[in-house]
Amino acid sequence: MSAARQSPNFGPRRDGATPKLVVIHYTAMADCAGAIRALCDPLREVSAHYLIGRDGQCHALVDEAMRAWHAGAGTWRGIWDVNSHSIGIELDNCGFSPFSAPQMDCLCDLLRGIMARWHIAPEGVIGHSDMAPGRKIDPGPRFDWARLAREGLAVMPEVRAPLAVDPLRFMTDCGQIGYQVEDITLMRDTLRRRFRPHALAKAAPLDGWDCAIAADLAARFGVDRAGHVT
């Protein structure tokens, strides 16, 4: 990890909150140096706990115990102040290119440490697009969620056959996973962006594979009445 450059854009976590989530972003900027300048610019009022360059170098910008300003408006599994309940990781990427091997290696190492320190389960590692559908699309369809899942750092569905198309059940299952979306087209595309990116460009109607993925994840993301992961 590189020497830390402290961003001034942070504050205390509200109401005694501690990290329950890790939110992964991409910078959508030309290079890592420009992203560092933006994340440390007090006029921009944006930051993240970490920024990982394409060369695999990790820049620590905000102490994990503090509230970085990375998530913005959105919600996940009943958490509305995502910044107070999460750690934000920015990846130096334009949004349309593959993520480099050194970058992914560094990310996996970083996630292992964060998840151990804060007792965050793989279900708690999400993309910016998961908690802000329609507003954000990062880390985008080129991000290798499957690798994170193989290393126990995120979740992926285990689906072998499609289900009957049932829009009502699909939306109910997506709500059970943690999404707060009312529009079925937006929900379909949000789920595909993360779990089925090859189907995203087709803009095809909701199908049995979408429904099977949602059902599988809903079963694994089961919640009790208090909203806690079971």
d(CA 73, CA 217): 24
Q: Are 46 and 111 in contact (CB under 8 A)?
A: no
What the block records as the tokens of 48 is: 């993240």
Domain range annotation of the chain: 10-150, 167-220
Assess whether the previous peptide bond of 8 is cis (omega < 30° from 0). no
Order the strands of the 50-52 sheet from edge to edge. 58-60, 50-52, 86-91, 21-26, 125-127
What the block records as the tokens of 219 is: 């079963």
Class of domain 10-150: alpha beta
Q: What pTM does this model have?
A: 0.94
Per-residue pLDDT of the chain (230 residues; tens, 9 = 90+): 555 569 999 999 999 999 999 999 999 999 999 999 999 999 999 999 999 999 999 999 999 999 999 999 999 999 999 999 999 999 999 988 999 999 999 999 999 999 999 999 999 999 999 999 999 999 999 999 999 999 999 999 999 999 999 999 999 999 999 999 999 999 999 999 999 999 987 778 999 999 999 999 999 876 443 344 43
Query: Considering 45, 64, 90, 182, which one is annotated as catalytic?
Result: 90
Identify whether 123 is a catalytic site residue. Answer: no
